[in-house]
Each structure stands twice: as C-alpha cells, then as structure tokens.
Structure 1
C-alpha cells in the first residue's frame, strides 16, 4: 500500500520463502540437446551432408537461446524478483477489491479526509454488521477518535462476508491486529514492531540562522525544531542568535529494519551565544513530570514562551517609532514579526480567549487572558484556528491563528502585545518564574548520572565540529567561562 511512511507495506507483504532452482533439470536438457545434435549431424552416415549439419547447428543455437531464457527466469525467481512482482500485483488487487457474496476477499485501503473507518470499509461492500463487530473489538486497544487521513487498513473476509482478520496502521510502528477466534469472538492486540533506537550527536556553528546551520550537519529541520522547543523559554531564536554561535545536541534516532524512521527525544543540548551558554538535559524520573533541566537542576519550563512564532524575524520592537501608516512619532505598544501570510501563531502560555474577531486597525485580533494578571494580543491575523472563540481555554504552544495582513497594515506580519494588570509591557522583557527545580538527593543523582556523562559528550561533539572557532573563543574568554563552556568534566 503506497502511503505516507517508509516500510508501509507490512500489512500486505508477509515474508515468503524463496523458490529453489532445479540444476538436475538443466543438466538433463543439455544431455538431450547434445545427443540430438550428434544424431542429426552424424545421422549414422560416414560423412555428414551439409544440410544435416546446418539443421544441427540451427537446433543447437535455438536450444542455447531457450536455455538462456530458462536460466534468466530461474535467476529471477531465485533472487525474489518474482515474489516482489506477485506481491505488487496482490497489493494492487487488494487496493481496488470489494467484497462479493460467496467469495473470500482481501481488501485494503486508507482513510480519506472527512471519512471514518466505518465509511471507508462500507464503501468496499463490507457489511455494517461485520464492521461493527470488528471495530467494537479493536476499540478496546485503539481509540478510533484518533484516526487521521492516511491511516491504512486491511481486512480478510470469509465467503459469508465475516471479517476473519482486521489490521489498522497509523504509523510504521503502530499497527493493531484483530482476529476472529474459534468461539466467534474477536481479540485485538497491538503488533510488536522491532525498532532500534540509537544515540547520535551533532554540533555546529551558526553562519546565518540556526535552522540552516542544523540542516548543514545533514539532519533535517524537524530536529532543529525540537532543539528550539527545548530552549524556547530562555532563547528567542528570532532575535538572539548571532553568526558564530555554537550548538551541540545528543538525540535519539529510531530505525525500522535498518532504515531511519524518525527522531526520538533530545537527550542533551548546549547553546553558546552572545547572551551566554545554555545547557539542557532530559530527565523523566526525578522531577514532578518528565522534562528538561539545566546543569544545576533548574527547570527550563516557564509560564511564557519567548515568541508566538517558531522562527521568523523581529521587524519592529516595543517603544516609540515613526508610524508607517499614520506618520509622526508614536508609541509602538508591541513587537512586530515579519511573517508570510499563513504562518502558524501559537499561544505563549495557558489561558482563556477573551476576544477573537475584527477590531478596527488591528484587523483580525485575538486576546488571551493568562494567570498573574497577564494578557496577550495577536493582530493583523489572516484567520483563526478551528474552535478559537471567546471563552475557550488554550494551552501553551497551541495553534490559535495564522498570521496575515488585515487591518491597518503595510505588509504581512504579526503584531504581538502583552499587558500586565491592564498596562502594556515589552513582551521581550518578560522572564517569569521557572518550574520546580531538583533538590537534595534528586539533584545529586541528576548531576552524577545525567549531567556529567552527557556534558562530556556534548563538549566532545563541539570540539570535533568547530575546533578553530572554539579555540578562538577559549583564547578570548576568561578562565571561568572556559571551564563552563569548553572544558570537559574533571
């Protein structure tokens, strides 16, 4: 089934045994051909005539061609190419098959937009009763409310249309199998898929942007996004990165049958920039909940994200400026981010939407009230996310709108404001309290078991990736900073 993942044919392609060739048959054919050639050439006569010789040679040539074709066919079967061809044909047949009364069937498909698994199977002539039985049993293991377009399914039915086996796949490693038992009941299980998780390290230096610097290491932007999420409470990657900054991270790469499948967690990370050096280490045992901490056990979690956009640039800061539309010097009570129309805008903290609609020069505007007397506003929006309206609760990082160019605007951008107790403040200056830090024995074990080994590996990765840049930084820094940012653990 051709879909959205690698290794996606597991629902349709069980492993098959290879067919062995028959060397004794080839030898027998060779002996027969040689005997026939001798008889035709010699013909029992003392001197073969030219016609008989020509016939014999023609026969020999024809045999050689046939034998070559047979050998090629056997080689194809032996190499498994024939099996692949048969499997592909079976796949194509299953993708277009429908149940016919009196005939067992193998049917496969995928969930289309605005379609449920029930509707998807019913469109292939599977009865409502059969679908209800197998879906009800599968729901004990998988919640079909989590179904998404592109999910794949496969059913095997008997001659009466009863489903003998049902498979549902949401990703290469998430497959549920429901089978009919001898007593007429169904049993659903999640299929074990053997995956391999490897720890890998990457490091580099920034020339223009962090995103491009990470991609230059050979990894994808998805990993860059995860790194930025870790430090999103302490570093604004839109405004605070500079050429010459360094980064390193140790992360998980998940493989399926030897092929890269996806990124796992970032285990440790380091960023060295103009504002300072930042560490992050993942821990899931010692804190109130799994999360990231710096080298001293301080939580990196804060109330507010540093930016409502994952990555872009600040085009106008908080403070007095010449108004681009009205002219004259006026107070700019927010921060403008240059962003193409349609850029996702996220809530910077948990809160409640108090307004979502049109508001004069603001264009499309959202106001969100947060704890501690804070309120955030997003203006000039193109549209609102589904379900966003006054009274709705939102969570930090949730998509609430997409940027646009509505209202009194000179070009596509996001205008972002923050108020505290009804008064405007500079959003870039807010640095609220962190989450609960690690203490006592938890802090001690965190430092010895996580910080020490992973910090040494991060430092090693940086030394290998940018030795010249680090040497220059080391020469220009004081001894305390050298120890903190470059030297390995004692």
Structure 2
C-alpha cells in the first residue's frame, strides 16, 4: 500500500507530540489588545509616510523650522529645500484649518523631508506637524496617491493631584525635582521651609518630606500645566494652601490656621549653600589680617538664585568696589539688605523696583574682591550693620471667623487627598490656538 508523503508527515508530527506527553492541538491566534486613538494616529502617520515616499528619495529626515521675523509660513517651509509650488500646496492645505497669514515670528513646527538619491532633483515634503495647543496639533501628510492630507489630533488630558513623598539626598529642592516635583512646586516649598529652617544647618540627609500638588498631563504622560503647591511637610512642619476672603493670592497656614509667612526669611538662598564665614572678626582671606566681617558669607555655586527675604524696594543695583556687583533692598521697620559679589541681576532689578518676598532678585557669583563663588549678605537697621543671624521678626496672623471655617474645610479636603494617595479626573478640552478655525469642506 502506498502512503502519500503529506500523510506520513502528519503521522510523524502526532507521534512526536504523544512521545512528549502532550496532545496535539491546533495553534490559536491571540487577540491583540485594543489600540488607543493616539496609537492609531501614530500608526496611520507611519503608513502614510511609507506610502507617500516616492521611489528615488531617501528616508525622511526630521527638520525643525521656526518662522523668522518678517517671514511668512510658506517662506519658512521653503527653507527645508522643497520646491516653491510644493510649499504653496502645503500652505494651502494648512489654511483649511488655520490662518497661516496670522502666524507670528517664533512659531515652530516639525517637517519630514526626503532628499533625492544621487543629489539630483528637489527635496520632497513627506509630513509636517504643528502644535496648536498644549494637547492639540495639526499634521499634514501624504496619502496613498501622493496627495496632501490634513488632520487635527487631540490628546486626552487628565488633571492629577499628586502626593509625593521622599527623603532628602543633598539639596531638598534638587531631591524634590528628581522625585518628580515640577520646578515651581519645588521652589515654592523651598521658600516656605526657609521661614522655619536654616536650609543649610537644619536639613539633614534622610529627612522625610511630603508635597501635594496639582498638574495637568496628556495621555502620553507629558505635563502641560501645574496649579501649584497645595501642601508641604518637612520634619513635622506642615503648610496648607488657602486664600482668605479678600486676599489677592493664596497663602500658607499651619494646621491651626496660623499664617506661616514670617516677616523675614532666615536666608536669601533656598538651596545648595553653606555658611562659609559668619558675622564678626576674622582673618580676611585676601588682606591676611584680622578684620571685622559685617555680614554672612554663603558659599554656593555660581548662578545660584538669590531671593528677597521680605517685600521691599530696590535702592541700588550697581558695581561697588570690592563688593563687585552689588544690590541693596529697603524693607519695612527700618531694615535694609545688601548682596555682594553677584554674577548678575534678575530681569528688571533697578532702583525703584518693588520686589516680593521669595522673588529671585540676583544670582551668586564671584565679582569684586572674591576668592570664589559666594554671596556676601548684610543687614542694616536704621543705617547700622547688624548680625543677620540675630534678626528676629514677628510671624503672620491667625485666621478667625468665616475664614477659619473655610480653611478647616479646605484642610480636610487636602487631608483626604493625602490619605487616598492622590486623585485623577478628566479635563474637558477647549480652544486650541489663536487663528485656528474649523476645517473647510
């Protein structure tokens, strides 16, 4: 009896399966997980790019473009190397969704450009992407027949209230940033704690901290906005954000409703410093003899931000002998502060400029008679230099009545968020960008 070859193959396969102790079963295809809208859009872009790339051209290269002063969108596109008529076609396509003539200098967009193989001929635009809002963008890509196709993409946006905990490793601000706190949240917490602590001497490694803050993120995890610090705790000292009736901006209070803001911050630096020379007699590092040191020196890296320890008015910002770049600020109660050896001033720092407590006013440097980057810090009381470490000022007020009741309700809400480890809620999208209009046709 003759047996067909394929029958022998089937018998052999079944025999091997039985010898291995398994029953032969036909292979089953696993269901692929459903794709998100954003993943679908990415795959579509890749498909259109692959289909629209003509033969004889290189793989598309990403070329960022920024519109220059006095330049139109079409002229900016032409700088990628594509033909004038193709740049006009791109502008005409994009004009179905927005007014390309209203684009200002500085507007950025990304292009994908293919070059001709062998160096002959003109470049070809394969795709263009322009962000029109924090979570929206327009794309121009080539369809299967080579025509330009316009599409508006919108990412889902979620608002998160984040509870962040960690242990200090080096600088508190840098640690918080490494753990995921936005820059404005880390700075705000540093300013708050500087009212209660000497940030150089009182904060130690492994000190635990907790921050609660809000942020808005896209479905890809990109942060597109923050709404500030709600709560901060360090070494058992906690602050809650609350805006009393009639106040121009939110303030921070302890658990009893006492305003944590003191009239004077303990240091004009928030992070990355140490006291290198105290107030009093010392051997001068340059002159070599004992001399009265009428301030405190903080060793810190060049460029470290210097903040105003209290509200005030700039008296002078100028070069002053051995002090190098010098800044002096007048505060209330007959107090003035001075800052020497600065590398530069913050924008707008000039005589007559009003500053707020915690506002960056300058940056650490080594100008003048200096042996290295540091801040020389002085305080005057009614024209006489005094020891900055000895300044004692009153703290803020205590909430009462309706304000205290409203504060307790807000404190309870923040405590619930802390206990739950945070919260999330979707955000309804609004308009994309100035000049955007519905697509025609």
Q: Does 1:350 align with 2:311?
A: yes
Equivalence for 2:150: none
Q: Does 1:332 align with 2:293?
A: yes
Q: Which has the higher helix share?
A: 1
- For 1:422 and 1:172, the matched residues in 2 are separated by 51
TM-aligned CA deviation for residue 256 of structure 1? 0.8
- For 1:343 and 1:364, the matched residues in 2 are separated by 15
Equivalence for 2:240: 281
CA deviation string 1:357-399 (max 9, x = no partner): 2212112211222233221111112233444333333444444
Equivalence for 2:327: 366
2:214 to 238, 252, 257: 252
Q: Which has the higher strand share?
A: 2
SS at match of 2:338: strand
Q: Does 1:299 align with 2:259?
A: yes
Equivalence for 1:323: 284
Contact 2:191 2:358 in 1 (8 A): no
TM-aligned CA deviation for residue 290 of structure 1? 1.9
Query: Relative contact order: is structure 1 or structure 2 higher (C-alpha 8 Å, sep ≥ 6)?
Result: 2
Contact 2:341 2:374 in 1 (8 A): yes
SS at match of 2:194: coil
SS at match of 2:313: strand
- For 1:369 and 1:230, the matched residues in 2 are separated by 22
SS at match of 1:372: coil
1:382 to 310, 318, 343: 343
Runs of 5+ in structure 2 lacking a partner? Answer: 1-39, 53-58, 79-86, 89-94, 111-128, 139-152, 422-441
SS at match of 2:259: coil
Once the two structures are superposed, the pairs formed by residues 188-207 of structure 1 within 5 Å of their partners are 194-206=156-168
Q: CA RMSD in A?
A: 4.5
Equivalence for 1:185: none
- For 1:426 and 1:304, the matched residues in 2 are separated by 14
Larger radius of gyration: 1
Contact 2:194 2:266 in 1 (8 A): yes
TM-aligned CA deviation for residue 295 of structure 1? 1.0
Contact 2:66 2:76 in 1 (8 A): no
Contact 1:335 1:415 in 2 (8 A): yes
- For 1:424 and 1:253, the matched residues in 2 are separated by 44
Once the two structures are superposed, the pairs formed by residues 184-223 of structure 1 within 5 Å of their partners are 194-206=156-168, 208-211=170-173, 213-214=175-176, 218-220=179-181, 222=183, 223=185
SS at match of 1:441: helix
Q: TM-score when scaled to structure 2?
A: 0.60
| Count of residue pairs the alignment pairs up | 329
Q: TM-score when scaled to structure 1?
A: 0.55
**CA distance 1:458–1:380, change in 2 (3 Å):** same
SS at match of 2:202: coil
SS at match of 1:247: strand
Contact 1:374 1:420 in 2 (8 A): yes
TM-aligned CA deviation for residue 419 of structure 1? 1.2
**CA distance 1:286–1:193, change in 2 (3 Å):** farther
SS at match of 2:361: strand
- For 1:88 and 1:398, the matched residues in 2 are separated by 52
Once the two structures are superposed, the pairs formed by residues 135-150 of structure 1 within 5 Å of their partners are none
SS at match of 1:224: helix
**CA distance 1:456–1:362, change in 2 (3 Å):** same
SS at match of 1:197: strand
Q: Does 1:414 align with 2:371?
A: no
Once the two structures are superposed, the pairs formed by residues 30-429 of structure 1 within 5 Å of their partners are 81=43, 83-86=45-48, 109-110=65-66, 152=108, 172-173=134-135, 194-206=156-168, 208-211=170-173, 213-214=175-176, 218-220=179-181, 222=183, 223-261=185-223, 263-272=226-235, 277-284=236-243, 286=245, 288=247, 289-313=249-273, 314-429=275-390
TM-aligned CA deviation for residue 413 of structure 1? 0.9
SS at match of 1:196: strand
**CA distance 1:302–1:242, change in 2 (3 Å):** same
